[in-house]
Structure 1
Amino acid sequence: MFSDSGQNWKQYRQEESIWAFSGNTNADSVVYYKLQHSIKARFLRFVPLDWNPNGRIGMRIEAYGCTYRSEVVGFDGKSCLIYTLNRKLINTVKDVISLKFKTMQSDGILLHREGQNGDHITMELTKGKLSLLINLGDTKTHPPNAQINITLGSLLDDQHWHSVLIEHFNNQVNFTVDKHTHHFHAKGEFSYLDLDYELSFGGIPVPGKSGTLSRRNFHGCFENIYYNGVNIIDLARRHKSQIYIGNMSFSCLEPKVVPVTFLSSSSFLALRGTSGQDEVFVSFQFRTWNKDGLLLSSKLHQSSGGFLLYLSDGRVKINLHKTGRVLSAGLNNGQWHSVSLSVKRNRISVRVDNDVTSSAHAFIPLQIYSDVFYFGGCPSSGNISECNTSFGGFQGCMRHISIGNKAVDMISIQQNGFGNFSDLQIDLCGITDRCLPNYCEHGGECSQSWNSFHCNCANTGYKGATCHYPIYEQSCEAYKHRGNTSGFYSIDSDGSGPLGPFLVYCNMTDTTWTIIQHNSTNLTRVKSANRENPHTVFFKYSASLDQLQATINLADHCEQELAYYCKKSRLLDKSDGMPLSWWIGRTNETHTYWGGSLPAVQKCACGLEGSCIDSQHYCNCDADRDEWTNDTGFLSYKDHLPVTEIVITDTDRPNSEAAYKLGPLLCRGDRTFWNSASFNTETSYLHFPTFHGEFSADVSFFFKTTASSGVFLENLGIQDFIRIELQSPYEVAFSFDVGNGPSEVIVQSRNSLNDNQWHYVKAERNVKEASLQIDQLPQRSHSAPPDGHIRLQLNSQLFVGGTASRQKRIFGIAKITPGVEPGCPGHCSSYGNLCHNGGKCREKYSGFSCDCTFSAYTGPFCKKEISAYFWTGTSVTYNFQEYYTLAKNSSSHASSFYADMTLAREAITFAFRTTRMPSLLLYVSSFYKEYLSVILTRNGSLQIRYKLDSHQDPDVFSISFKSMADGQPQHVKINREEETLFVEVIPLGVGEKVDYHKKVDKQNAETMKANSQGFVGCLSSVQFNHIAPLKAALHHSSSAPVIVKGRFTESSCGTLTGADSTSSETTHSFADHSGPIDEGKPLANAIRSDSAIIGGVIAVVIFILLCITAIAIRIYKKKGIYSKNEAKGSENEDSAESALKSELSMQNTANENQKEYFF
């Protein structure tokens, strides 16, 4: 501890923590310590904390320092010192002001200087914090935004010296209070301060110039005031150019105030009262950060109860006979607050901060027993039962304790024992502001208690104890490989860096594109622009330039389309070589090359390709023709993107006009996401410059290995270190030392981590805690000690994949190691589950992709449905490849060859949406008249008909519940394995039933009846085994064996996706039974063995979707199957179909990704 006067001690702190050191262990050796930062004091005090190992205590001290010159001046709160400069008006581009001050008052003016044109500089103490108010400029109205207010420091009213330095050069200002510096750029039109010739210290001599400022003068002491190297106090002492106002002395008087620190919730101070007197008066001041704590308690006379005065949620409360009364609020703000208690003739009065409005009066039936008053708490053996309450003891400082209008001498109590106390520090206020400096990052709000601080990270985009780690991904590529689809996402391009997140659109195709919009994407026409009056347009993006730069640097490739349309409007004046139009990029440089060209060549795309309409020019527009042409292309040089400004100057001639259109910024790839390095030997490692993360740092990576242990990462210092390692196949450890001794956070996994699969590691260390997370396992953390070392100081290289301290390397692969041999194989083993609906994961040189060739879906993860709208008369016929090839050269030999082929199982999936019934949904037939058909019957039920033997009758299965022709999405899965049939319909209605029945149908009348009506509606995601006929018809119609008849339109079908809906599963058997079948219980009755195949002698299989043939229509028209009433029903159905198509059209229009039209 150190002090100027031998009292009011201050604890020496190092790295924002109380510093303790080990002394010598014998009488001969010397232990030498060098302070991290110097102190200026006349008295030193050493507090022994523990005995030496030999059980003795004793210490010799030798202090090394230097002389210190001090010039002081004291102010009484009514005075000020005015320094008169040599000239009446000083215009200077540089000012340096330095001083030190000490005070017990929380408010007051320290410095003020003002000019005639609104310039002023003021330094003011407000609530224990120092504010610098500065304004530059010649405005006469003093708008609020022209003034800068910077606040530094806290608890500066502690009667200790605090240093201040103001450095001003042009518009750049450095403001330093103690060790904390804030650099900022001052506002104003001039690069210098225009101020009067007077500089005032301690107050404002003529109030009114700055009426918004506090008028309270400074009460305390200044030391060593310098203005541009001039010692102001020395000039004042020698009666040079200065003016005195009020009472001022060249000395610093120390007030006789002895503060007391209550270190813990068990601390207390017991003082004797004034027994036998009718009146009791107690007063004191306190300061604390805690919301709750006992301030004062005493026993009631002739009663088992007690009187309590305590803090609850920052409010002072009185508890008398268990009845509470609230006084004031917000008293846990670290400021000094006064409390006075008066009891006289059964009447009690409490006042807070001498505020009449914050006072309470009450009548009590019993006199307070004033023998002993307990401050801050009470001993465990105390006789006040209410004293040990749930809100705990007081932690903070008290001073000016008075009982019975008599000040308590705390020094006497400490030396002579007139009273009782526990766990106190006398003549010292140990309160510290744990929110200064503010370790809450990214705008997190800091709040504190006596022992710790807390960061509120709400609405910051970050998480963790200090709001350090981002909650958003770094790129669209990262979102894609979490399985996300196209949409708007917030990205944080620099991760835990200073830049915040911003919104982009991620287009999740095979190549993931990040799309960043700006404020002017429309085609804009320009006339009447020349060099003297150019047309200039500025583009404002949805992100700042720093955020854009971070995104561009992270991407593999970026581009931006720039289209310039012209009619007698040139880009380059060939006569003098000067550009007539140009654009400006992110770096504020002018560029004269245009879309599709290269930097610094002053050409357009046609100039590089040699395809300009006039070979004498390098741009189409430079031909200067009286007709519209254009120079359009993509700008792709990343260092110049994005375009921030376009200037056009050649549209003022007759018939001269131009138009431009700038597209959004497009970026793809993530340079860090797929970077990887392999470590194959014990001596293999990577090393990088020293890792800098003094107060907060995070490390994240993927790894895969077969080794049982190894070091992932290590960086050493003289004493400090940081290390992440695989300690065993089931355990990863994050260890470090910041000066408090080695600490370790361990995460254990039930599954082995050396399984050659990718595993994710995220480690974070900040001043509050260290944490470690592996994959999706619960995060483990280790809290930092409240007053320990917090700075991580490293000086060696950062080793990745190995260690400098011991031979223990990691064998395997570390992912996200920038710049080292990208393209490690084996991604499908970890990411293959992202490929859905039968898509196959394919390894790529860098990453993976999903192959949707044999899936009815498309998209980057085979999740996008392929759907089509069918109109009356539309059909899609898919010929199996075997028959398609065979039909070209048919023979009896070929027929006998295919007759030996059998098909013992099918897997069929599709979705539909219709209001037409009956309808044929699917028809599969063989070369030998075996077939499978799926139809909607006249009542809307689903009917599946299997004929597996041309000589036998078909088996018919009906699934009956509410009509499936209700215009709602229906998903159907059919799986047959020999004699067992499994059917799943999503969604099913309430109270559904599944009927199985069989009947003779020699002419297949029901199928042909449904076929004759045709199908109108949407079909989606149709798949038969590995065949996807809709996909073939829509995307590969030229190469696939598919025939399309009628109007056939690709459609989203009003979003048919419903795989997550509640489903009902039914398993059937080809048994000779009828009636309901229990769900989930397959019947294993044997079917005729010759019916267990589709066409046991299959030679040709034809997959027909909604096959509507002219022959079938003629047959059923001749037979007159449908009555007139049924015809009327059909008309009603047609109107329902129209409503459905209208609904689908509206839904598709609302979908921003759809570009399709319904006719």
Structure 2
Amino acid sequence: MMRDFVYYFFVLLCSSLTEGVDYTDTARYYYDYECNEPLVASSKLSATSSLRERGADNAKLYGLNAWTASESDFDQYLVIDLGSVKNVTRIATQGRAHSQEFVQEYRISYGSNGLDYARYKAAGGEVKMFEGNHDGNTVKKNEFEVPIIAQYIRINPMRWRDKISMRVELYGCDYVADTMFFNGSSLVKVDLLRDPISASRETIRFRFKTSTASGAMIYSRGTQGDYMAMQLRDNRLLLNIDLGSGTSTSLSVGSLLDDNIWHDVVMSRNRRDVVFSVDRVVVLGKIKGEFSRLNLNRAIYIGGVPNFQDGLVVNQNFTGCVENLYLNATNVIQELKLGYESGEPFKYQRVNTLYACPEPPIVPITFLKEGSYAKLRGYSGGNTLNISMEFRTYEKHGLLIHHEFKTQGYVKVYLEEGRVKVDLQTTSADLAPKVKLDNYAEEFNDGRWHALMLTMATDSLVLAVDNRPVKTTKKFRFLTGSTYYIAGEFV
């Protein structure tokens, strides 16, 4: 299976991976078919703001008008709903015809539900800035080194002349997905006893999304000590590989990958040189030892393993969805379906998997800017309050919960130097004008999920972080207000 070289999709590698390598060239992937259909004509366009007679529907390449934002700031977006998930390969832009209104630089983010977006990043990990236009008429084209697979494309102008004005076309084609869901007790086993692998190069690529921070994703080993282990550990993707030398090589890429957004993964090995990437962010490595061939003759496990193995650092199986998994030119999920249909289940074993991708019952919300917040309505006039949530961040400072009482005062839960603290203010005579509660010594801005619960009643405030409660001994009264702010407050 893996001995056939890639004919459908391949990675262009430099002859040697050394310092000064061009990451863009290294991470450039090409399809062997033309995927260049214009997509905007059949799409729905919207924008954060528009001038009269210059709405988002005017943002079409070669159109007589253009989309012009009514505000000239960095918070303007043009959103293109492609109607279904597409394979988007390039973008072309213009300014407003016969004018000096055009966008000179912009960013792109993309998503599948219109709510959660991932930013398009360059190979070095920074958010990519796309070159725009230099006048209102000339067309500027940008090709994506790795195609964007999404239904929603969001364009964020970052530099412009006179006004933010754009005409846009996206090019691509339909996206066909072979998807499989793993529930944490699932796995797929591909038998290698009849077809062992002895290869000096291979490419693995797939997409995944998950809400779980850790789990084994792909694992295989041989009788000579070779193994390859790809796994999620604390929401980062980790590759451990040993070509039989007895010394493991580890590469890690990505962060906050358990956000229930699709992520694109490519691992390409050429003898001892490895390219490992997630969402176009590239890590280069050289495998330790003298050997250059990977010898696997037992099985390849996908989504989990039946027992703990060398090279694994997590002890649970993957929970989430995997899509279009290719081992070199072989579409594994498609081959798995065909294997069962053709009466060859001995090669593939499938345990507790689905050919679908159900949405999890809990969907996380990402607050991208300092001024972002969620506003929730609640029952007003009550003498009890209960709020529970999970949060994660790398920021040292930030507001988690803010609630103004119907009676005077408020309660506020926030991070200060990474520590969770509470401010409480009421009009009760037995309570000081404002009390600050600081009962947790550790810092919680480690990028991991933490459970928080705030419970209040007359003369009682209990805050629990990661199931460790602390309680006040103050006497106070309050009546709840009607509005709760999460991750921010309205000023």
TM-score surpassing 0.5?
A: yes
- The aligned runs of 1:795-944 (5 Å cut-off) are none
Whether the 8 Å contact between 1:299 and 1:368 is mirrored in structure 2 is no
1:749 maps to which residue? none
Matched, 1:343 2:343: no
Matched, 1:286 2:412: no
Given candidates 161, 181, 184, the residue that maps to 2:262 is: 161
Separation of aligned partners in 2, 1:245 and 1:344: 51
Matched, 1:40 2:145: no
Matched, 1:332 2:433: no
Separation of aligned partners in 2, 1:8 and 1:80: 28
Whether the 8 Å contact between 1:98 and 1:225 is mirrored in structure 2 is yes
TM-score by length of 2: 0.65
Matched, 1:272 2:384: no
Given candidates 409, 413, 433, the residue that maps to 1:309 is: 413
Q: Secondary structure at the match of 1:166?
A: strand
Q: What CA deviation, in whole Å up to 9, does each residue of 1:356-391 have, x standing for no partner?
A: 3x33222442234321323333344xxxxxxxxxxx
Matched residues, number: 364
Whether the 8 Å contact between 2:121 and 2:280 is mirrored in structure 1 is no
Seen in structure 2, the aligned counterparts of structure 1 residues 368 and 290 have a Cα distance that, compared at 3 Å, is farther
Separation of aligned partners in 1, 2:280 and 2:372: 32
1:209 maps to which residue? 309
**Greater fraction strand:** 2
**Greater fraction helix:** 1
How many Å apart are 1:190 and its aligned residue? 4.4
How many Å apart are 1:235 and its aligned residue? 0.9
Seen in structure 2, the aligned counterparts of structure 1 residues 211 and 222 have a Cα distance that, compared at 3 Å, is closer
Matched, 1:257 2:363: yes
Separation of aligned partners in 2, 1:110 and 1:48: 37
**C-alpha root-mean-square deviation of aligned residues, in Å?**
3.3
Separation of aligned partners in 1, 2:308 and 2:380: 54
2:484 maps to which residue? 373
2:89 maps to which residue? none
Whether the 8 Å contact between 2:206 and 2:325 is mirrored in structure 1 is yes
Whether the 8 Å contact between 2:230 and 2:237 is mirrored in structure 1 is yes
Given candidates 293, 309, 328, the residue that maps to 1:228 is: 328
Separation of aligned partners in 1, 2:303 and 2:413: 38
Q: Secondary structure at the match of 2:298?
A: strand
How many Å apart are 1:75 and its aligned residue? 1.4
Given candidates 337, 350, 355, the residue that maps to 1:237 is: 337
Seen in structure 2, the aligned counterparts of structure 1 residues 274 and 19 have a Cα distance that, compared at 3 Å, is farther
Whether the 8 Å contact between 2:401 and 2:485 is mirrored in structure 1 is yes
How many Å apart are 1:309 and its aligned residue? 0.9
The residue identity in structure 2 corresponding to 1:311 is L
Q: What CA deviation, in whole Å up to 9, does each residue of 1:77-132 have, x standing for no partner?
A: 22111112362654433333222222222211111112334332111111111111
The residue identity in structure 1 corresponding to 2:397 is D
Q: Secondary structure at the match of 1:64?
A: strand
Whether the 8 Å contact between 1:24 and 1:59 is mirrored in structure 2 is no
Separation of aligned partners in 1, 2:450 and 2:375: 21
Q: Secondary structure at the match of 2:259?
A: coil
Separation of aligned partners in 1, 2:407 and 2:238: 54
Given candidates 116, 123, 131, the residue that maps to 1:8 is: 116
Q: Secondary structure at the match of 1:137?
A: coil
Given candidates 228, 232, 236, the residue that maps to 1:125 is: 232
Matched, 1:106 2:106: no
Given candidates 167, 175, 180, the residue that maps to 1:73 is: 180
The residue identity in structure 1 corresponding to 2:420 is V
1:463 maps to which residue? none
Whether the 8 Å contact between 1:88 and 1:197 is mirrored in structure 2 is no
Q: Secondary structure at the match of 2:479?
A: strand
2:286 maps to which residue? 185
Whether the 8 Å contact between 2:383 and 2:480 is mirrored in structure 1 is no
Seen in structure 2, the aligned counterparts of structure 1 residues 323 and 67 have a Cα distance that, compared at 3 Å, is closer
Whether the 8 Å contact between 1:117 and 1:138 is mirrored in structure 2 is no
Matched, 1:359 2:469: yes
Q: What CA deviation, in whole Å up to 9, does each residue of 1:842-889 have, x standing for no partner?
A: xxxxxxxxxxxxxxxxxxxxxxxxxxxxxxxxxxxxxxxxxxxxxxxx
1:1151 maps to which residue? none
- The aligned runs of 1:1025-1044 (5 Å cut-off) are none
Whether the 8 Å contact between 2:403 and 2:411 is mirrored in structure 1 is yes
Given candidates 137, 145, 156, the residue that maps to 2:244 is: 137
Separation of aligned partners in 2, 1:127 and 1:369: 40
How many Å apart are 1:209 and its aligned residue? 3.4
How many Å apart are 1:181 and its aligned residue? 3.5
Q: Percent sequence identity over matched residues?
A: 30
Separation of aligned partners in 2, 1:269 and 1:228: 44
- The aligned runs of 1:654-665 (5 Å cut-off) are none
- The aligned runs of 1:616-627 (5 Å cut-off) are none
2:83 maps to which residue? none
Q: Secondary structure at the match of 1:235?
A: helix
The residue identity in structure 2 corresponding to 1:373 is Y
- The aligned runs of 1:568-607 (5 Å cut-off) are none
The residue identity in structure 2 corresponding to 1:319 is D
Whether the 8 Å contact between 1:269 and 1:374 is mirrored in structure 2 is yes
Whether the 8 Å contact between 2:399 and 2:487 is mirrored in structure 1 is yes
1:95 maps to which residue? 202
How many Å apart are 1:342 and its aligned residue? 1.7
Matched, 1:62 2:169: yes
Whether the 8 Å contact between 1:137 and 1:190 is mirrored in structure 2 is yes
Q: 126-135 vs 335-344, which deviates more?
A: 335-344
How many Å apart are 1:278 and its aligned residue? 3.9
How many Å apart are 1:311 and its aligned residue? 0.6
Matched, 1:199 2:266: no
Q: What CA deviation, in whole Å up to 9, does each residue of 1:1063-1090 have, x standing for no partner?
A: xxxxxxxxxxxxxxxxxxxxxxxxxxxx
The residue identity in structure 2 corresponding to 1:279 is T
2:53 maps to which residue? none
Large movers: runs of 4+ above 6 Å: 20-26, 48-52
Give the structure with higher Rg (CA): 1
Q: Secondary structure at the match of 2:213?
A: coil
Whether the 8 Å contact between 1:237 and 1:250 is mirrored in structure 2 is no
Separation of aligned partners in 1, 2:120 and 2:350: 37
Q: What CA deviation, in whole Å up to 9, does each residue of 1:585-630 have, x standing for no partner?
A: xxxxxxxxxxxxxxxxxxxxxxxxxxxxxxxxxxxxxxxxxxxxxx
How many Å apart are 1:267 and its aligned residue? 4.5
Whether the 8 Å contact between 2:122 and 2:281 is mirrored in structure 1 is no
Seen in structure 2, the aligned counterparts of structure 1 residues 64 and 197 have a Cα distance that, compared at 3 Å, is same
Seen in structure 2, the aligned counterparts of structure 1 residues 227 and 24 have a Cα distance that, compared at 3 Å, is same
1:1006 maps to which residue? none
The residue identity in structure 2 corresponding to 1:370 is T
Seen in structure 2, the aligned counterparts of structure 1 residues 243 and 33 have a Cα distance that, compared at 3 Å, is same
Name structure 1 gaps, 5 residues minimum. 140-145, 381-1159
Given candidates 174, 199, 220, the residue that maps to 2:275 is: 174
Q: Secondary structure at the match of 1:234?
A: helix
1:150 maps to which residue? 251
Structure number with higher relative contact order (C-alpha < 8 Å, ≥ 6 residues apart): 2
Q: Secondary structure at the match of 2:297?
A: strand
Seen in structure 2, the aligned counterparts of structure 1 residues 176 and 342 have a Cα distance that, compared at 3 Å, is same
The residue identity in structure 1 corresponding to 2:252 is T
Whether the 8 Å contact between 1:108 and 1:218 is mirrored in structure 2 is yes
2:4 maps to which residue? none
Name structure 2 gaps, 5 residues minimum. 1-108, 425-433
Separation of aligned partners in 1, 2:330 and 2:143: 30
Matched, 1:319 2:423: yes
